[in-house]
Structure formats: C-alpha cells, structure tokens
C-alpha cells in the first residue's frame, strides 16, 4: 500500500507525530499537507524528545524524503530555526524540501492574528498566535506571498507593493498599529529565500512521481477533524483542512490515489483553545488524572489542555468525513489504574438522544453527554502485543472501534517509538 494519510480525528494533539514517526520507518516520503507552525508534533526516540512544528515527523530517518506541501503556510524564520535546531542535534535535514507554491507567513500575519484575538475579547478563538488565520485568509483573497516569490527580488517587490498598502491601511486604521515597511520586509524575506533556495522545489511533481513509481508516501496531518475549517466547531477552528480531503489540495496528489487513512485518536479527549467540547471534564478528579498522567500541556503554547472522555459521536463523524480505514488509538496507558473509564456515546438534546454531530453550536451547548462506563485495568504500559493487553483494555478498544465504525489498526501505550502495538498490519503500510 504505497499511499497513506495520518489524520487527527479529535481536536489536535492526538499523537500524530508519534504515529507518523512509527510508520515512517516504512516510508520513502513523509509529507505535510496543511497547517503551519501552529502544529506541535512530539517525537520521542532513544530518550530524546523532538518538538516539530513545520518539519514532517519523518525527519529522524536518514534518507526519508520529507516534503512540506503547497497547502502548508510557512513561517520561514521559524522553519530556519527548526532546521538549525535539528542539525545541532545531529539530525540530517538535507532531504527536506518545500513546495514553491506554499504560502508565506509574514510578520503582519502574526500581528494581525494577535490583534484580532485581542479585539475578539471574550469571543476569542484561542489561536496559537502564529499568523495562521490571516495567512490563509490572504491566500484565498489572492493577496498571498508564495515561497517562489522569495527567490526573486522583482517578484517579491511587486507583490509587496500590491499587498502592503492594504495591510498597512487595515493595521493602522483598525488596530492603530504603525504598519510595516516594504523595503525592510523585502530585504528580510529575500534573505530567507536565499537560505532556503536549495529546498524550494516543485513538490507536486515529486509527490506524483513517487506515487507513480510505487514509493511509499505518508501524509502527515496537523490539527484535527474538529478543528477543520469546514467540518470543525466553526468558528472555533483552524483555517485549513486537516481532514483527508486536504491531502489532495495540499499536495497535488489526485484524490483517487490516496489508499489508506489512519485516524489518530487519544483513548480519551483533549482540546486547547476555546470552543465546544461535549465530553469535557471540567474541574473534576478525572480532568486532573488525565491532565497530569497524560502531561496535557500544549506543545506549541504550553497552555494546559482541556481534558475529557472519548467521544464516540465525534469519532463516528470523523471516521466518515475522513474515510478512515483504520484507527490509531494513543495514550491508552494514561487510563491505566482507573477504576472506571467513561465514553460519551450520544448527546441528549430536548429529551432525545442524538448520535450525529450537530452543526449549530447553540444546540451543541445544550446537549448533555450520554455516558457508557467500562471497567478499568491495571497496566498496558508493558504490553508489546495486542494479546498482552489486559482483557478490559481489549474490551474498551473493541467498544470504541464499534462505536466509531472503524477497526483499530494500531495502539500506542507510551510516547516512545517502541511503545506501539500493531493490531492490523494490513491497515497500515
Ligand atoms: P500531535 O500534535 O498529534 O503530534 O500530538 P502532540 O505531540 O502535540 O501531543 C501528544 C503527546 O502525547 C506528546 O507529548 C507525545 O509524546 C505523547 N504521546 C503520544 N503517544 C503516547 C502514548 O501512547 N502514551 C503516552 N503516555 N504519551 C504519548
Ligand atoms: P497539532 O498539529 C491542538 C487550535 C488552537 C485554536 C484553534 C485555532 O499539534 O495537533 P490557529 O492558531 O490554528 O488559528 O488556532 O486551533 N490549534 C491546535 N490545537 N493542536 C494543534 O496542532 C493545533 N493547531 C491549532 O488552539 O483553538
Ligand atoms: Mg500537537
């Protein structure tokens, strides 16, 4: 099976980095297709921890080609730092390439992100402040700057002359911000272009040739389904398409060529930032258990993550919109030692139980979770095979697979590469 996508089926931070790193052992290419440095993917190998924001989680394998696709928004300064950091830690980054079509996050995007959040006040989204929303907005409004523009002075100056007057007018009149200087921006971003020149290529051709030649290509999603601009809890979402459909628009691989979709989910649930979270445990002992044992603090911003139980309504919805062919259930070990484990199996709304995920956030706010309880277990941490898992843990996995409507392909019981149990190898590479 040469093409496979790893997608988040919750609100991000499901463990996509860990799963991607594990599966990348078999991959020839690892490709990011959307999002930007709002992502924080953790990979732990041989006692070393890596926090990847823009670099695909295949970078630890020498010889694996890592691509940042056209659908990603790139902060070149952040990317250069990340690459320098990896090189300092003796990770070879020469096989990392960037799409010439990817859009560039400019300093005014980050300022706009911060100022808009401030202005939203109580209605804020709780963004990561990385300029993601404003950059995607400019892309769609046809005011964007692409990586290819950083390679040529005339192109960059022309596009800045067209775009900056609008940006500055907005910043000055709405936010009383002094605005940005075109010349200074051009110099700064041409320097980044020079530093990255060798890496900026036509990734659309690379991805398609790889697929045509039977290479194993792994697509690494950032964020998650409930943060998707179309399918998430709008407007409390990110500005891209983390769902499997994003693979096609974000890399140029035709949709019929994506063969497998692995949906990554924690064995419970978390969310960072504002917005609805029906199975949330707020201020309870369960929240404390999950946050402390799961180390649930944001990779990118350090914020404590909101915690709750596995939500089967969300899971079933996500399995559908992604066409998930197999689930990867992570952090099962975090539930070790609990007497009971809960799952949200439906939403009670005006006396009726709903099993579909609502669009209307006002309606969602009125939904009460319908719980099902499962007996807990002692330890999954040391299991290396499915049949070594406690029977209650197996029962729990079986139940969530049934509720979600997709088989479990892989289970993760620790943050290191080795703490991984393959359940259905045929659903992976
Ligand atoms: P991502 O954004 O989806 O890649 O997820 P993050 O890296 O932001 O958050 C997942 C966190 O859980 C990271 O700190 C991982 O090292 C850790 N992790 C991943 N899988 C497991 C697991 O099975 N058990 C435990 N205990 N930690 C895990
Ligand atoms: P990974 O790839 C969790 C959330 C933010 C905020 C909303 C919009 O590590 O799973 P943005 O900065 O994208 O405009 O913020 O999306 N968010 C994430 N939450 N994991 C992420 O990435 C996230 N990226 C964005 O907290 O609620
Ligand atoms: Mg993360």
Q: At what angle do helices 391-404 and 312-322 cross, to 10 degrees?
A: 60
State the Cα–Cα distance between residues 299 and 130, nearest whole angstrom.
13
3-state SS assignment for residue 12: coil
3-state SS assignment for residue 364: helix
Share of the chain above pLDDT 70, in %: 100
CA of 42 to the centre of ligand 1 (A): 6
Q: What is the pLDDT of residues 278-295, one digit of tens each?
A: 999 999 999 999 999 999
Angle at 210 between CA 207 and CA 211, to 5 degrees: 90
Q: What is the pLDDT of residues 145-183, one digit of tens each?
A: 999 999 999 999 999 999 999 999 999 999 999 999 999
Q: What is the pLDDT of residues 377-392, one digit of tens each?
A: 999 999 999 999 999 9
- Asked whether 415 lines ligand 1 (CB < 6 A), one says yes
CA of 117 to the centre of ligand 2 (A): 14
13 carries an active-site annotation: yes
Ligand lying closest to the C-alpha of residue 48 = 1
* Strand pairing report for 310-311 and 408-412: unpaired
- Asked whether 263 lines ligand 1 (CB < 6 A), one says no
Count CB-CB contacts under 10 A for residue 67: 29
Query: To test ligand 2's pocket by mutation, which of 37, 56, 128, 220 has the most ligand atoms within 8 angstroms of CB?
Result: 128
DSSP conformational letter for 297: B
pLDDT band at 1 (very low <50, low <70, confident <90, very high): low
Phi and psi torsions of 182, nearest 5°: -60, -40
Average pLDDT of the segment spanning 396-415: 98
Q: Which of 21, 28, 41, 113 is catalytic?
A: 41
Q: Given this model, what pLDDT does residue 327 score?
A: 98
- Asked whether 14 lines ligand 1 (CB < 6 A), one says yes
Please, which contacts does 400-404 make with residues 24 or more away whose CB atoms are closer than 8 Å? 400/267, 400/310, 400/312, 400/315, 400/327, 400/329, 400/343, 401/327, 403/312, 403/315, 403/316, 403/343, 403/345, 404/265, 404/312, 404/315, 404/316, 404/318, 404/319, 404/324, 404/327
Q: Which two tokens stand for residue 37?
A: 């440095």
How many helices and strands in the chain, by DSSP H and E?
12, 20
Count CB-CB contacts under 10 A for residue 262: 29
CA of 295 to the centre of ligand 1 (A): 9
CA of 100 to the centre of ligand 2 (A): 24
- Asked whether 265 lines ligand 2 (CB < 6 A), one says no
Q: What is the pLDDT of residues 333-379, one digit of tens each?
A: 999 999 999 999 999 999 999 999 999 999 999 999 999 999 999 99
Q: Which of 135, 17, 116 is closest to 75 using CA atoms? A: 135
Check: CB of residue 322 under 8 Å from CB of residue 7: yes
Q: What is the pLDDT of residues 26-58, one digit of tens each?
A: 999 999 999 999 999 999 999 999 999 999 999
- Asked whether 109 lines ligand 1 (CB < 6 A), one says no
Strand segments, DSSP code E, in 41-139 are 41-45, 48-52, 65-68, 73-74, 96-99, 103-104
Check: CB of residue 334 under 8 Å from CB of residue 393: no
Ligand lying closest to the C-alpha of residue 420 = 1
State the Cα–Cα distance between residues 43 and 220, nearest whole angstrom.
13
Cα R_g (the chain), whole angstroms: 21
41 carries an active-site annotation: yes
State the Cα–Cα distance between residues 394 and 106, nearest whole angstrom.
48
List the domains of the chain with CATH numbers. 3-99+200-260 (3.40.440.10), 103-196 (1.10.300.10), 265-427 (3.90.170.10)
Q: Whose CA is nearest to atom 14 of ligand 1?
A: 42
What is the pTM (predicted TM-score) of this model?
A: 0.98
Model confidence at 300: pLDDT above 80? no
- Asked whether 10 lines ligand 1 (CB < 6 A), one says no
More confident residue, 1 or 282: 282
Q: What is the pLDDT of residues 99-151, one digit of tens each?
A: 999 999 999 999 999 999 999 999 999 999 999 999 999 999 999 999 999 99
């Amino acid at each position: 099976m040469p093409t496979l996508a790893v997608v988040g089926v919750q609100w991000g931070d499901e463990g996509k980095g860990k799963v991607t790193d594990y599966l990348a052992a078999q991959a020839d290419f690892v490709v990011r297709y959307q999002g930007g440095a709002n992502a924080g993917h953790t990979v732990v190998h041989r006692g070393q921890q890596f926090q990847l924001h823009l670099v695909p989680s295949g970078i630890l394998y020498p010889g694996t080609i890592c691509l940042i696709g056209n659908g990603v928004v790139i902060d070149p300064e952040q990317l250069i730092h990340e690459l320098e950091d990896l090189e300092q830690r003796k990770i070879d980054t020469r096989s990392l390439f960037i799409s010439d079509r990817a859009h560039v996050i400019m300093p005014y995007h980050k300022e706009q992100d911060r100022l808009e959040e401030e202005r939203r006040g109580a209605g804020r989204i709780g963004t990561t402040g990385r300029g993601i929303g404003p950059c995607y907005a400019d892309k769609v409004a046809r005011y964007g700057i692409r990586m290819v523009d950083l390679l040529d002075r005339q192109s960059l100056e022309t596009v800045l002359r067209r775009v900056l007057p609008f940006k500055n007018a907005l910043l000055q009149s709405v936010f009383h911000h002094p605005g940005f200087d075109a010349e200074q921006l051009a110099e700064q971003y041409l320097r980044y272009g020079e530093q990255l020149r060798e890496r900026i290529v036509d990734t659309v051709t690379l991805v398609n040739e790889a697929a045509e030649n039977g290479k194993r290509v792994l697509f690494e999603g950032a964020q998650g389904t409930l943060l998707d601009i179309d399918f998430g809890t709008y407007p409390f979402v990110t500005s891209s398409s983390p769902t499997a459909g994003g693979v096609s628009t974000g890399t140029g691989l035709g949709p019929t060529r994506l063969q497998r979709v692995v949906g990554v989910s924690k064995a419970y649930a978390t969310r960072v930032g504002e917005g609805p979270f029906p199975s949330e445990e707020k201020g309870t002992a369960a929240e404390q258990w999950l946050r402390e044992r799961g180390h649930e603090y944001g990779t990118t911003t350090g914020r404590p993550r909101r915690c709750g139980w596995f939500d089967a309504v969300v899971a079933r919805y996500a399995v559908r919109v992604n066409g998930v062919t197999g689930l990867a259930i992570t952090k099962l070990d975090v539930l070790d030692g609990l007497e009971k484990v809960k799952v949200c199996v439906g939403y009670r709304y005006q006396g009726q139980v709903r099993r579909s995920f609502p669009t209307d956030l006002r309606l969602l706010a009125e939904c009460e979770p319908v719980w099902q309880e499962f007996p807990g277990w002692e330890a999954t941490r040391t299991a290396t095979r499915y049949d070594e898992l406690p029977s209650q843990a197996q029962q729990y996995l079986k139940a969530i697979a049934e509720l979600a409507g997709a088989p479990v392909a892989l289970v993760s019981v620790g943050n290191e590469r080795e703490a991984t149990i393959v359940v259905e190898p045929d659903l992976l590479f």
